[in-house]
Each structure stands twice: as structure tokens, then as C-alpha cells.
Amino acid sequence: MANFAFRENMNKKSFIAFLVAIFLPLTGYLLVSYYSTGAVQMPQRYFYDSVNVIQKNGKTTYDTAWHHVSNLHFTNQLGQQVSLDDLKGKIIVLDFFFTHCPTICPQLARSMKKLQTSFPNNDSIVQFVSISIDPKHDSVQQLRRWAEKFNVNPDSWWLLTGNRDSIYNFALHEIKASVADVNIDTAFVHTENFFLLDKERVVRGWFNGLDSVAQSRLVRDIPLLMLEKDKKRTFGDFFSDLLKGKTSTP
């Protein structure tokens, strides 16, 4: 009887310890999530494909389908066939250039190099992408020379060439470069903007690559998107990970 009472007492203590181990961090997570909501201003989303109006219980809500930049295939400065799908899960900083540009492109390249230097050892998180708008002249060899000139690290910065029509369609209809820069020449997409895409390839902003203040904002927004919560991740996923000893938030 004494042994039974002892075991029962130990079982109760073990159960209480289990509850403490589970619900203490769970409570902490809920409190942090509650009080941190809205504490950080995340980069906004800009372009949407549709907005669905939902009527339920006398209340009206809106479900926005944000525009996800479509995939496109290119050749990089190493002669490798690559695509945006290869960057799945990465944040992308993207611009347009051409190697014979005598004006802004060298300055943009230096700005992009500073960005790459600001995020060392993060090639699994953020990718810098420069797309040639003059693919007829920007061969792989020419891109390689440009890369050498600006000390481009190909692990996290691609210089890309490809089909001209596909590139221009991508710039104007996927990235919406002419919306970000109303003065752009649609026959020759030459813009000084850097475009920021999140992990889902949704445009989250554009920043003048020649403006140090704008570049500072871009440096601030990149880590914010790194830490952005995965909306597809459910509370059940979080609770399951908690049981496994993980603590990442949904």
C-alpha cells in the first residue's frame, strides 16, 4: 500500500512537472505574441491579383490574393542554368542593369556589393540578383568580366542573362518596374531601383540604389523579412515542435 501511494504521488508530481514544462513556455509564447503584435512595422505588400469580399455573421472581411512574382529561367555569370524557383525560401534583392551602361549601372553595382558585404554568410537566406536588360550584348563572358570588376561573390549574387522578351515581360508585368518608376522607358527598362521580394516572391518594396538613405531602409527591411512569421505554419505545428524540444514560433 505504501509503495502504491508513493508511486501515485510520484505520478502526480511527474504529471505536474510535465504541465509546467509544456504550459510555461506556451504561456510565455502567447504573451510575447500578444504584446508584440504591431510592435514592429513590417514592410508592406504592394501588388495584388484579386480581393475577395467575405460576408459572415453580418461582418465583412477581405481576403487579398497578393501577386507572387512568377518563375523565370536565366543563365548566370558562371554559365549555369538557373531560375527563381532555385531560390525558394530566400529573400531576393533584384535590380536591372547592362554592362555597357556608362552612367548609373556601375554605381548600382557598387551599392549591391555593399549590400552583399552587409549580409556575409547568409547565402541560404538572401540572394542578390542583377538581370541584364541587354542580353544581346551581355554574354556569359561579359557578365563574368563585370563580376570580376565588382568582386561579385556568385554564392549570393547572380548576374543573369536570358531571353529579352521574357526579361522585359518579367520586369514590367511581374516586378511592375514601370509602377515603381513612372519615368521608365518600357522599350529599355533602365531603372535605379532595387526591388525587395519576400520568401513567397511578393514585392515588399523598392529602393533607390543611388540613395544612401533608401539603402539604409533596405538594409533594415531585409532582416525583418528574414524573421517574418510563416502564415502557413499553424499553432498545432508550434505545439508539436514544443513537444519535440523546438521553440520556433508559428
- Looking up residue 189, the CATH number of its domain turns out to be 3.40.30.10
The residues near 122 (Cβ < 8 Å, ≥ 6 apart) are 156
56: in domain: no
Indicate whether 145 belongs to any domain.
yes
3 state DSSP class of 80: coil
Q: What are the b/e assignments for 187-209, b being 16+ CB within 10 Å?
A: eebbbbbbbbbbbbbbbbbbbbb
Structural contact between residues 140 and 75, judged by C-beta atoms closer than 8 angstroms = yes
Band (40; pLDDT cuts 50, 70, 90): low
70 plus 174 within the same structural domain: yes
Helix (H, G, I), strand (E, B) or coil at 174: helix
Q: Which is more confident, 6 or 91?
A: 91
The pLDDT of residue 19 is above 60: no
**Is residue 105 one of the residues assigned to a domain?**
yes
User: How many angstroms separate the CA atoms of 43 and 225, rounded?
Assistant: 8
Span 67-77, average pLDDT: 96
Residues 30 and 103 both lie in one domain:
no
Runs of H (alpha helix) within the chain:
2-36, 104-118, 140-149, 164-169, 177-180, 212-226, 235-243
* CA dihedral sign, ordered 107, 159, 122, 30: positive
pLDDT tier at 68 (50, 70, 90 boundaries)?
very high
Contact (CB, 8 A) for 250 and 237: yes
Count of domains observed in the chain: 2
Helix (H, G, I), strand (E, B) or coil at 199: coil
Is 61 inside a domain boundary? Answer: no
Cell readout for 90 is: 530566400
Q: What is the mean pLDDT of residues 205-225?
A: 95
| 200 and 90 belong to one structural domain | yes
The pLDDT score that the predictor gives to residue 53 is 76
Domain that holds residue 189: 66-226
